[in-house]
Chain A
């Protein structure tokens, strides 16, 4: 069975600085998707970034980028120029490729605090 592990329950970053959140996963599949979701205090889950395992190039969305290391099964999220609005729970998630259903497997999350 696939598992997702986030080893940092909490992280803190100074406003305008850069922070990296870690995620590792375990799967025997060769094709899959990886995601980072953000959950602010409102509890709404918001997609931050997505990575297809068959793509070697790391995904980037504005200030958010990932470091995808397929062999190491590592998928870290880098937030550059951190802003107060980035404070939230961040969840790493895995979805296998293909199939008629596509449920996500989530890590337990990392709580990010941003200090002014």
Chain B
């Protein structure tokens, strides 16, 4: 069976510090991978998605970047965090063409102080 791991679960970082959130998927190959952000009281906003190694598409211009160094690894990064980067970050995956259900990780709560 497939599982998705996301860490850390919570993170408190000062403004201006770097960020690295990691997401890995087990039990499948060549998944589509997604990073979403959920601000307080709001729905999920797509940040990045990837259909393959090294292929990253950005939906919202911002202070964040994403990378996919391996097939089942998706990393969300920032060189310098802003207060507005605080939120709940969710990684998700689905199979490629033909499958449409997305499965989510447990999320990371990021607080930038």
Contact = CB atoms under 8 A, between A and B. Distances in A.
Interface residues of B, number: 27
B72 to A, nearest CB: 17
> DSSP majority for the A interface?
loop
Interface string A67-111: 000000000000000000000000100010111111111111100
Nearest to B108: A43
Contacts of B105: 44
A97 B100 CA distance: 8
A67 to B, nearest CB: 21
Interface stretch (B15-23, B44-52, B63-71, B76-84): B44-52
B43 A102 contact: no
Interface residues of A, number: 26
A45 B107 CA distance: 9
A47 interface: yes
Interface in B73-99: 88, 90, 92, 94, 96-97
Interface of B: 32, 34, 41-46, 49, 51, 57, 59, 88, 90, 92, 94, 96-97, 100-107, 109
Interface of A: 4, 33, 35, 37, 42-47, 50, 91, 95, 97-109
B51 A43 contact: no
Contacts of B102: 47, 95, 102, 104
